[in-house]
Chains A and B, each alone.
Chain A
């Protein structure tokens, strides 16, 4: 893989930290959109200087979905009056940031012990994928709002997308299209769920789901 991949992966990892550290829903959506842009560019440049038209089209679709459609849907949700603009963490931002740092460190250490093709060991691809998946887990488990959990799912999906890049040489369209379809289906299901949570509890606080009442 060309050396330009590494700075892009580092940018994606930095965006992970920004996702963990931001306290406003809008900035959270902005960072996830930027991560989508970075991943789209990664897909376009990952296979040398002259990407074919199919790769370029896939990258364009990925950017349009990850940085266009999905953030726009999320942004529309944040305009609902009942939704407060702050991210409500169950664990403080500082501890999630530290956990994210530890997770990234473990991913970097673990990623280099995996048996991989030689062209994947020189770049950060697999560690970055593991770290991004871990960040998604953290976001999903330590934030209270349903919409932040959706964003956590998106981050997790971005990690899977990074993992998919290792396979994209063999079967590019298959992997990416399957991933993107998954994403769209999941976002629709989650959109409906978030709406239901709203309607039932008149807030998107998921802790209300674990309390029993008549």
Chain B
């Protein structure tokens, strides 16, 4: 039962985040906006189209979207979405989690390079630079959690063992939470790190890497991106609202609600600030690393 619920949440929830973000942005701008289920319709539409594949590309071009989605889904099996345990859980799986996402990013970049387009190469270079700066922030934040729970498995880290960030003992975790939110925005190419709605190749980071993908392949990429966003939102929700304070159904219900709240927050940020200059991005990511490291130091004292 838990497994079925977990899989349902993991596969069906992600596109809803896109719908919520789009709706919040539209509401702030004074429009009605697309329906909440729009991303689902778009995925169905993309799945029915045929894909155009350039003759200069190789199997790497096809592997990009496929590996990107599968790594995100497998990483999702390691998170405790509702129950205190995850379907796939072993000692040290937080490292596997981080590097599964890294593997996905590597294949997305490789697929972009495979097309031989100058713009896509530029996007891949930027994505690689960002990820090198994101990784320490993510892992340092996870290390702070490891220190406060004494376990190295994600299911235990986020499964209610850590003190609540709103208590005095857990106050450093609040810093980690802020840092992980910055990681979420950067990792998923949201404003202020990247503008997912831009139409100018020179300013793109993530979007430029998928310009040559079309039809079902583009659908896989978009779905994979939503899954990844949901994973990070779920980490945040579980960090701020530890499991196990109520009945089991409350734990399960809390996650979708929390994820929708995170999506609304992302929408609010996207409609209230512009994308920062590319040169400022490293500074913000280094600040995220420092926040994580600072939380870690406070916990280690």
Question: Interface residues, chain A, CB within 8 Å of chain B?
Answer: 3, 6-7, 10, 13-14, 17, 21, 23, 93-94, 97-98, 100-101, 104-105, 108, 112, 124
Contact = CB atoms under 8 A, between A and B. Distances in A.
List the 4 shortest-distance A-B pairs measured between CB atoms, nearest first. A101-B290, A94-B286, A93-B283, A108-B297
Nearest to A3: B168
A104 B286 contact: no
Contact of B283 (A13, A97, A104, A105): A97
B286 A97 contact: yes
Contact of B294 (A3, A6, A101): A101
A98 B137 CA distance: 13
B294 A104 contact: yes
Interface string B220-254: 00000000000000000000000000000000000
B88 interface: no
A155 B54 CA distance: 59
A191 to B, nearest CB: 30
Interface residues on B, range: 10 to 19
Interface string B171-204: 1100100000000000000000000000000000
Most buried by A among B280, B287, B291, B301: B287
Given A97-B290, A108-B301, 19 more contacts: A6-B171, A10-B172, A10-B175, A10-B298, A14-B175, A17-B291, A21-B287, A93-B283, A94-B283, A94-B286, A98-B286, A98-B290, A101-B290, A101-B293, A104-B297, A105-B293, A108-B298, A124-B298, A124-B301
| Consensus secondary structure, chain B interface | helix
Contacts of B102: none
B301 A17 contact: no
Contacts of B287: 17, 21, 97
B161 interface: no
A100 B293 CA distance: 12
B168 A13 contact: no
Contacts of A17: 287, 290-291, 294
Interface string B253-297: 000000000000000000000000000101100110111011001
A97 B294 CA distance: 12
Contacts of B298: 10, 108, 124
A13 B294 contact: yes
Nearest to A107: B297
A7 B171 contact: yes
Contacts of B286: 94, 97-98
12 contacts: A6-B171, A7-B171, A10-B298, A17-B290, A23-B280, A94-B283, A94-B286, A97-B286, A97-B287, A101-B289, A104-B297, A105-B293
A104 B280 CA distance: 23
Contacts of B172: 10
Contacts of B283: 21, 93-94, 97
Nearest to A92: B283
B195 to A, nearest CB: 21
A93 B175 CA distance: 21
A25 B232 CA distance: 35
A125 B290 CA distance: 20
Nearest to A101: B290
A124 B168 CA distance: 13
Given A21-B283, A94-B286, A97-B283, A105 B301 contact: no
A17 B287 CA distance: 8
A108 B290 CA distance: 14
A6 B290 CA distance: 18
